[in-house]
Each structure stands twice: as structure tokens, then as C-alpha cells.
Structure 1
């Protein structure tokens, strides 16, 4: 039938794209993107000209893919389907007979794990906390984990999340990775109370990966 390539994209530094990713992006019939503007900027940087469609995340894929044999799925940053609804497209095209092919590369999750001083031989990854409904149960579940927990969080919610983590889990040791691979990359190592003090006084900017020790 065809192939769907799951292509990891840089999480900040454009030099982190792999040679294989560039080869596949040049060879496919169409690229399905989270935000076409972000993807076109990266393609332009590497001199790649391709038809780019926006993936409308929901129960099924948004753009029409009829007639395309080789399709690339990308996200704005990192690996599609990791805390990302790209799984819906993968499921739909697999059912239609497409071969699903991984083109691995950058991921905020693995980048954060690689610089953490917390033992992460086992861990629980929960992605982004719920924005509204279900937050209390989410943090109660997290606090009971026997393994370290890894979360993603946005700058406008990170302080709220740190406070709720402290309320649910106590003043645990943690790492916070911010702006990974970018100019102002930072890894905070300390207790939750220290992290709250830091970001209340310095402000919270960039994208965050939170690693909470068990």
C-alpha cells in the first residue's frame, strides 16, 4: 500500500536533525505536520521543498492522504506520538495497510533522561498533566508511584504544577530540564521547594521536562 515514516525533528537546535531524516523528507510524497509554518521553516533551512499538510488531531487524521504512497509524519519538536496525538494517524494508516517506519532522533524525553542524576533504570512517563479536569487525581496517582515520574510542562503552567506536586508528593528531590538543546539550556537539580522559589523569583520561560524522584 505505502509507507508512513515517523520522523523525529529537532527540539531546539536545528543541527540535531539526522541525515536519514533529511533523506526521507526529501523522498516522500507529502509531509503531514503539526504546524505547517514551523515545518516549512525547517525544510527551508535545509533546502527541502515538499507539499506539507496540517494534521488536525482528533479521532482520525485530518488531511486527505488518498493517492500518496510515501508519507512523513512530523511534529513541531521531537518525536511524533510521544505525548502527541500522532498515534491516531498511525493507527488509521496501519489499518489501511501502510507500513509504519521509525526514523528516530531527537526527543525531549530521552534528552532529559541523559542529563539527569536520578536513577531512571525504571520510570513512569505521564506526558503533560491535565490542563483542568482531573488534575487532583493525576497528582495523587503520581505521588503513589514507586518509580521516578517524568512530566512535560509549558511555561505558563509550570509553577502551578510544581505547587501541586509539592502538595501531593512532598518536598522531593527533582530535576527540571528547560530549553534543552537551545542557547539557554538549563538543568535544575534540587528539592521541589527550591524549584518553586527559583521560578517564582526568576520567572518561567521555555519548555520544561520535570523529573521527580521516587
Structure 2
């Protein structure tokens, strides 16, 4: 049958793509993307000319022999709907091949001063329903908890973390690998004051010490 290549792409700095990722992107029949505009920008930067389609859950892609799956930034299937495609094509007999590389999760872990020999990754908190239960779970966990958050809900999430867990020590990675990359290390209350004063920009990885 065919192969599905699950390819990690840069989370900010285009130079972070691997040589193998570029090689595979040039060789496949089609590239399935979260947002075709973002992916075409990356491909154009490296002179790769390939058919790029937006991935739609439930659509049949089984007639392609070699497929690449990419997300807008980082590794597909980590807080990303790519898992559905992986399952669908595995069921059709495709070989699933990892082409590892950049990930906001591992980038944040690599610069953290919190012991992360064990941790719980929960991705993005619920947008609306279930937030109270979610943060109660975070507060009671015995391991460090890692979350993703968008700029639109970042301060709301920080305040709810504070209310549920108290003034715990935290690491925050903002705009990792980009020009204005920042890593905050301090207490939750300090982080809330900082971003209330400075404003919120970019994507965030939050690491909460138990």
C-alpha cells in the first residue's frame, strides 16, 4: 500500500526544518496541510513545488501512494487533528512514517528549569465547557503540567490557574524560536502582573510546577 509521512515543520524559524523533511516533501505525491497558505509559504522558501491540499477529516485520500501530513507549526497530531488522518490511513493499510523535528512542546521543555523527568501534557484548555473541572485536575496533579494557550485566552487561563492551584512556580515560553522569543520563570502572580502590564502577543507554552 502507500506511506503517510508525518512531518514536523518549523514553529517559527524557517531554518529549523530538517534536511530529511525537505527531502520527503519533494518526493511525495501530495501534501496535506492544516492551512495551505502557511504551508505554501514554507515550500516556496525552499523552492519545493508540490500539490498542497487542506486536510479534511473523513475525506478519502487512499488513492495517493505517498502522502505528507504537516501542521501549521511543529509536529502533527500533538494538540492537532492529524491523529484522525493517521488512524484512517492506517486502517486502509498505509505505513505510517515519522519525520521528526520541531515541536513547541520539546522546545519549551529544553529551556525549562523545572524537573520534567515526569510530566503531564494536556494541550489546550477547553475553550468554554469544562474549564473548572480541567483546572481542578491540573491543581491536583502530582507532576508538572504542560499546556498550550493562544493569546486570546492566555490571561484568562493564567487567572484560572492561579485560582485553582495557588501561586505556584511557572515557566512560560512565548514565541519560541521567533525574533521576540521569551521565557518567563517565576510565580503565577508575577506572570499575571507582567502580561497585564505588557500585553499579550504570540503563542504560549505553560509549564506549571506541582
Q: TM-score, normalised by structure 2?
A: 0.99
> Which of 116, 125, 136 is residue 121 of structure 2 equivalent to?
125
For residue 185 of structure 1, what is the aligned residue in structure 2?
Answer: 181
Q: Across the two proteins, how many residue pairs are aligned to each other?
A: 210
Structure 1 residues 8 and 189 mapped into 2: Cα distance closer, same or farther (>3 Å)?
same
**Could you list the per-position Cα deviations for residues 145-190 of structure 1 after superposition, in whole angstroms to 9, with x for gaps in the alignment?**
0000000000010000000000000000000000000000000000
Is 1:81 matched up with 2:74? no
| Structure 1 segments unaligned to the other structure (5+ residues) | none
**Could you list the per-position Cα deviations for residues 16-41 of structure 1 after superposition, in whole angstroms to 9, with x for gaps in the alignment?**
00000000000000000000000001
For residue 208 of structure 2, what is the aligned residue in structure 1?
Answer: 212
> Which of 112, 117, 121 is residue 116 of structure 1 equivalent to?
112
User: Distance in 2 between the 1:3 and 1:66 partners?
Assistant: 10
User: Distance in 1 between the 2:20 and 2:175 partners?
Assistant: 25
**Equivalent residue runs for 1:2-151 within 5 Å:** 2-56=2-56, 60-62=57-59, 64-151=60-147
Cα drift, residue 85 of structure 1: 1.1
Cα drift, residue 144 of structure 1: 0.5
Q: TM-score, normalised by structure 1?
A: 0.97
For residue 167 of structure 2, what is the aligned residue in structure 1?
Answer: 171
User: Distance in 2 between the 1:31 and 1:148 partners?
Assistant: 36
Report the 3-state secondary structure (helix = DSSP H, G, I; strand = E; otherwise coil) of the residue aligned with 1:125.
strand
Report the 3-state secondary structure (helix = DSSP H, G, I; strand = E; otherwise coil) of the residue aligned with 1:32.
strand
Whether the aligned pair in 1 keeps the contact of 2:30 and 2:51 (CA below 8 Å) is: yes
Report the 3-state secondary structure (helix = DSSP H, G, I; strand = E; otherwise coil) of the residue aligned with 1:116.
coil
User: Distance in 2 between the 1:55 and 1:61 partners?
Assistant: 9
| Structure 2 segments unaligned to the other structure (5+ residues) | none
Runs of 4+ more than 3 Å apart: none
For residue 150 of structure 2, what is the aligned residue in structure 1?
Answer: 154
